[in-house]
Amino acid sequence: MAEEFLATEMDTAVRVVHLASSLCVKVQDKLRLPSSTNGHVKSKDDDSPVTVADWGVQAIVSWVLAQVFGGQNLSIVAEEDTESLSKAESLGLLGAVSSAVNEALSEASTYGLPKPDKPLGTTEILEAIGRCSSVGGPKGRHWVLDPVDGTLGFVRGDQYAVALALIENGKVLLGVLGCPNYPVKKECLSNGCNSQSGAAGSVTKGCVMYAKRGSGQAWMQPLIPGGYPESATLLKVSSVDDPVLATVCEPVERANSNHLFTAGLTNSMGVRKQPMRVYSMVKYAAIACGDAEVFMKFAQSSYKEKIWDHAAGVVIVEEAGGVVTDAGGRNLDFSKGVYLEGLDRGIIACSGQVLHEKIIGAVYASWESSSL
């Protein structure tokens, strides 16, 4: 029998996101310790944070993909680079990345993934991170990775996601989102609820969601400490199509999305609930599993959205039954390289067509009066 289309790609992507998520959980726990020196967090040129987890995840995903698919023609488009990590003054940081990576990779076989014969050296780790400098484009296969999306949420002990997608000829073929802090109770999405686990160690948060383009199915697995879960459950978007009952999510930071514009917009549609402000692509996850109905992001016009911030989330929401477009109602274009070129104003992800059409209509009505 012919092997299922993209079976190895999907399986490897899901497993490596589980492994990457376990690395993130450990690093985030360390950041919470009062004794933490914060040596695990650096500021990038644009003042956004980057951590041991961002580099560590990029290294293990890159290393595993190269082992499974061969390093020769592997194209990975990912957020982080090695510039600041390679500097002499970053030796301590590189050591911390190396420890996190080797600790995670030592457990790779528990996740059904290849494991190095001996711990990776810092040169190999820098090589793995640096290999992810592809710029994507309209032709061929490109893996797209945001090792930690919502790094701000991550350092604040809140929501974040590990996001991995595969693009072929400009189309997203599959997407995987690791959401280690995704709560069982949706109220905890926007207010932390930092408890780790319930009675007798039962898992109360953390999952991996994934979908393959055209399958009409999106799946969720629980994140279990130190291993790969046996089971997966189907995801389904919410059936709510009345704005009055809808939960609308948006980025936490004003700098990343115009809260005033979305407030005016949702008000004009009769939305009653307060916006649910959540870090990272967990907002897409919330739509896919029916915990929210709408996700909107209207960045400043000078900001260009990057493909790794959306690819995995878009395919998961669409396969779970939702709709994702720009504010003009057009599909996002993943074929133009690192950026979502030609994006019309902002991003609108919805649980269904009816709500989506209402929002697009409301954007047209509100836009003129806004100063975006």
The token pair at 238 is: 């919410």
Ligand-binding site membership of 11 (annotated): no
For residue 296, the minimal CB distance to ligand PPS (Å) is 11
Residue owning tokens 């950026």 = 339
- One DSSP character per residue, 325-346 reads EETTSPPP--SSSSB-TT--S-
Q: Which of 178, 251, 321, 346 binds ligand PPS (CB under 6 A)?
A: 251
B/e letters for 256-280, b = 16+ CB within 10 Å, e = fewer, are: bbbbebbebbbeebebeeebbbbbb
Binding to ligand PPS (CB under 6 A) within 153-172 occurs at 153
Phi, psi of 211 (to 5 degrees): -155, 150
CA–CA gap between residue 42 and residue 154 (Å, rounded): 13
Binding to Mg ion, residues 61-90 (CB under 5 A): 79
Segment near ligand PPS (CB under 6 A), from 83-91, 197-205, 252-260, 284-292?
Answer: 252-260
181 near ligand PPS, judged by CB under 6 A: no
Catalytic residues: 54, 151
Q: By C-beta, is 290 or 313 nearer to Mg ion? A: 313
Among 53, 93, 136, 149, binds Mg ion (CB under 5 A): 149
Task: Give the one entry of Mg ion, ligand PPS, none that residue 275 binds, where binding means its C-beta sits below a cut-off of 5 to 8 angstroms depending on kind.
Answer: none
- 305 has binding-site annotation: no
Nearer to ligand PPS, 26 or 306 (CB): 306
Please report how close the Cβ of residue 163 comes to Mg ion at its closest, in angstroms. 7
Q: Are 132 and 253 in contact (CB under 8 A)?
A: no
Q: Which partner, Mg ion, ligand PPS, none, binds residue 80 by CB below 5 to 8 Å per kind?
A: none
- The token pair at 25 is 């959980």
64-74: burial string, b at 16+ Cβ within 10 Å, e else = bbbebeeeeeb
Token pair of 350 as six digits: 């919805």
Which residue stretches of 181-309 are H helix?
188-191, 259-269, 282-288
Distance in Å from the first CA to the final CA of the chain: 55
287 to 306, contacts with ligand PPS by CB under 6 A? Answer: 299-300, 303, 306
Binding region for ligand PPS (CB under 6 A) out of 107-115, 237-245, 249-257, 341-349: 249-257
Rounded-to-integer distance, Cα 336 and Cα 175, Å: 18
How many residues contact Mg ion, by CB under 5 A? 7
Annotated binding site for Mg(2+): 79, 146, 149, 309
Binding site for Mg ion (CB under 5 A): 48, 79, 146, 148-149, 151, 309
Binding site for ligand PPS (CB under 6 A): 48, 79, 146, 149-153, 251-253, 255-256, 279-280, 299-300, 303, 306, 309
